[in-house]
Amino acid sequence: MKIRLIPVLFFKDGNLVRSENFDLHQILGDPFTQVDRYNSWNVDEIIYLDISKSKNYEIKNKINFKTKSFFDVMQRASAKCFSPMVFGGGIKNLTDAQSYFQNGADKICINTIALENLEIISELANNFGNQSIVVSVDVKLVNNNYKVYNAKNEKIYDYDLLNFIKLIEKKGAGEIFLNSVDRDGNGCGYDIDLITKVSKSINIPLIPCGGAGQFKDFKDLLNSTELTAVAAGNLFNFTERSYEKAKFYLKNEGFNFR
């Protein structure tokens, strides 16, 4: 199978932001420019997450487009983008999920609601299809043990990580988006040990993220673990034509990218 290279965008309080350790957020600009750029590069897929804790914000953009909510961002971004788009952030029930699909999502990404109620995964999968449900799992190292973390309420769950991951698959998730909190925005390379353990425990696609600082980090991960997708955020935001360059590099290294 060909490997997908997936850029990740974070939307917070009206702006696109750079994330570091799920805590520090640097404003990058309006929520549309980077989507337009990725569209021109014909990316495999885009994951776009709303990490705003409040919905009382003004969306600033340089184009003549009136925006009042993340739904407006979704509509405009998906209308201009030819690549599949995964949207997430604030989905609490089937009605929210339906609204996301109606406003341009090809897939949805859920996090908090899955931590609180695993059955919602089955409900969503039964209504919209397994292939359209991505479950996000954020992992933090605590006393040298991998723990499930929720940035929304800064809570660490005392789940056995691999058992929890297997339950997500069993309940009907189509993919798992795995993010390392400790590596987020640090550019120090992927947590290959974590990713390998999770990848070997499931049969559905895993999308690892967190830690990519140079193209070689993709190579190191893919040489260590069999994957069909890999994601990154900041690396694609600060390097000119970074996505195209990454694809060129990885194809030259012998990897089967689209």
Q: In whole angstroms, what is the distance from residue 252 CA to residue 249 CA?
A: 5
Judge contact between 121 and 80, C-beta under 8 A.
Answer: no
DSSP for 64-122, written as a single string: S----SHHHHHHHHHHH--S-EEEESS--SHHHHHHHHHTT-SEEEE-HHHHH-THHHH
Which range is least confidently modeled, 33-37, 167-171, 204-208? 33-37
Q: What is the mean pLDDT of the chain?
A: 91
CATH number of the domain encompassing residue 150:
3.20.20.70
Is the pTM higher than 0.85? The answer reads yes
Domain for residue 257, yes or no?
Answer: no
Using the predicted structure, report yes or no on whether residue 64 has a pLDDT greater than 80: no
**Residue 237 tokens, joined:** 């935001």
Q: What are the residues whose beta carbons fall under 8 Å from the beta carbon of 182, sequence distance 6 or more? A: 21, 140, 141, 191, 210
User: What is the share, in percent, of the chain residues with pLDDT greater than 90?
Assistant: 69
22 or 75: which leads in pLDDT: 75
The whole-number pLDDT of residue 60 equals 59
Residue with tokens 């993340």: 70
Domain for residue 147, yes or no?
Answer: yes
**Cα separation values, 145 from 159, 200, 236, Å:** 11, 18, 30
Using the predicted structure, report yes or no on whether residue 58 has a pLDDT greater than 80: no
Domain for residue 244, yes or no?
Answer: yes
Using the predicted structure, report yes or no on whether residue 203 has a pLDDT greater than 60: yes
User: Range of 181's domain?
Assistant: 4-252
Domain for residue 24, yes or no?
Answer: yes
Domain for residue 200, yes or no?
Answer: yes
Pairing state between β 175-180 and 15-20:
unpaired
Rg of the Cα trace of the chain?
17
Encode pLDDT of 136-187 as tens digits: 999 999 999 999 999 888 899 999 999 999 999 999 999 999 999 999 888 8
Q: For the chain, how many helices (H) and strands (E)?
A: 10, 12
In the predicted model, what is the mean pLDDT of residues 32-56?
Answer: 87
User: What is the share, in percent, of the chain residues with pLDDT greater than 70?
Assistant: 94
Domain for residue 87, yes or no?
Answer: yes
Backbone angles phi, psi at 13, to 5 degrees: 55, 40
Encode pLDDT of 68-122 as tens digits: 688 888 998 999 889 999 999 989 999 999 999 999 999 999 999 999 999 999 9
Using the predicted structure, report yes or no on whether residue 65 has a pLDDT greater than 80: no
CA 40, chain centre distance (Å)? 20
Residue (of 107, 105, 84) closest to 38 by Cα position: 84
Using the predicted structure, report yes or no on whether residue 66 has a pLDDT greater than 60: no
3-state secondary structure of 181: coil
Domain for residue 84, yes or no?
Answer: yes
Total domains, the chain = 1
The whole-number pLDDT of residue 56 equals 60
Structure confidence at residue 258 as a pLDDT band (50, 70, 90): confident
Q: In whole angstroms, what is the distance from residue 46 CA to residue 85 CA?
A: 5
In the predicted model, what is the mean pLDDT of residues 194-222?
Answer: 96
Residues recognised as catalytic: 138
215 or 1: which leads in pLDDT: 215
Judge contact between 185 and 24, C-beta under 8 A.
Answer: yes
Domain for residue 258, yes or no?
Answer: no
The whole-number pLDDT of residue 57 equals 62
